[in-house]
Amino acid sequence: MAWSFAKAFQNLFTGSRLVDESDWENLEDTLLQADFGPRVTDEVIEAVHAVADATANLDTEDLRRILGEVLEERLAAFDPTLSLQAESGFPAVVLVVGVNGVGKTTTLGKFAKFIATRGKRVLVGAADTFRAAAVDQLATWAERAGVDIVKPQVDGQDPAAVAFQAVERATAEGHDVVIIDTAGRLHTKSGLMDELAKIKRVIEKKAPINEVLLVLDATTGQNGLNQAEAFLEQAGVTGLVLTKLDGSARGGFVFAVQELTGIPVKLVGQGESIDDLTGFTPHVFVRQLLD
């Protein structure tokens, strides 16, 4: 897949020739433009310099190789493994959270297919109950993914009640994984974080929660992170999902976001179709960026 942000990196290294000062400037500009952020950019440049300065006749191929090693090393500090191992008698529970429009429901649909394809029985819960359209959207994805769904029994039902029923049904019917969709914005007076806390409390009466995945839109880069601050502070986030990498010039956000939050990126969305979701594999990611 050709990411728009990867092109800028690949341009840095076209044609094998000795590296000069302008290459270093271009590298810095490219990192900043890709939204690595100033601190990570400085540290990456410094780490690349440390190896490059000890390399005789440094050419653009050397620079590409050294940059790749430095980037992989930074990513290796975070474990991208999803925890979907449930205690016996329980389904694994995954809660999907984030602000409006970042791609929660779409991710949920793709993710349901991703794990169903690997032989797990999946049930999704439509706990974004404010708009009937949100429930219909999830139902369409569930159908495409071939997984079961629990919907509100009446319009605008309490989201926590839907989450509860989803986990209850999955426990009774022996599903392996339950994934709960949530609202990114509320129309009611209660705060979004209060509602999420209630959803979590109610789920935990039935089963432990394995993952709280915060979905972030890569096209908004670090601005999007500010919008998601309340989730990071209060929602007990265990993993990040980066969506819309296909249309983003800010792929460096993957690096910045992990280091700013201390939370690993676990899934990456790169398109609107059902198969456009992958696990996050640092080696593959860096190769896609630089090769």
Interaction site with ligand GDP (CB under 6 A): 98, 100-106, 128, 130-131, 134, 183-187, 243-244, 246-247, 269-272, 276
- What number of chain residues touch Mg ion (CB under 5 A)? 2
The residue (of 61 and 143) whose beta carbon lies closer to ligand GDP is: 143
Task: State in angstroms the smallest separation of the CB of 280 from Mg ion.
Answer: 21
Q: How far apart are CA 282 and CA 77, in angstroms?
A: 10
Task: State in angstroms the smallest separation of the CB of 194 from ligand GDP.
Answer: 13
Residue 28 binds which one of Mg ion, ligand GDP, none, with CB within 5 to 8 A depending on kind?
none
Residue 195 binds which one of ligand GDP, Mg ion, none, with CB within 5 to 8 A depending on kind?
none
Task: State in angstroms the smallest separation of the CB of 104 from Mg ion.
Answer: 5
Q: Record the tokens describing residue 39, joined without a space.
A: 């601190």
Contact 248, 4 (CB under 8 A): yes
The residue (of 62 and 276) whose beta carbon lies closer to ligand GDP is: 276
Say which residues have a Cβ less than 8 Å from residue 133's Cβ, sequence separation at least 6: none
Neighbour count for residue 279 (Cβ, 10 Å): 13
Q: Can residue 104 be called a binding residue for Mg ion (CB under 5 A)? A: yes
Task: State in angstroms the smallest separation of the CB of 103 from ligand GDP.
Answer: 3
Q: How far apart are CA 159 and CA 180, in angstroms?
A: 10
Residue 102 binds which one of Mg ion, ligand GDP, none, with CB within 5 to 8 A depending on kind?
ligand GDP
The residue (of 187 and 189) whose beta carbon lies closer to ligand GDP is: 187
The residue (of 71 and 268) whose beta carbon lies closer to ligand GDP is: 268
The residue (of 106 and 258) whose beta carbon lies closer to ligand GDP is: 106
Task: State in angstroms the smallest separation of the CB of 80 from ligand GDP.
Answer: 17
Identify which range of 105-113, 166-174, 238-246, 264-272 contacts Mg ion by CB under 5 A.
105-113
Closest by CA position to 216, among listed 190, 188, 191, 235: 235
N-terminal to C-terminal alpha carbon distance within the chain: 11
| Torsion sign over Cα 16, 22, 27, 33 | negative
Q: At 136, phi and psi to the nearest 5? A: -60, -40
The residue (of 101 and 146) whose beta carbon lies closer to ligand GDP is: 101
Q: Residues in the site for Mg ion, rule: CB under 5 A?
A: 104-105
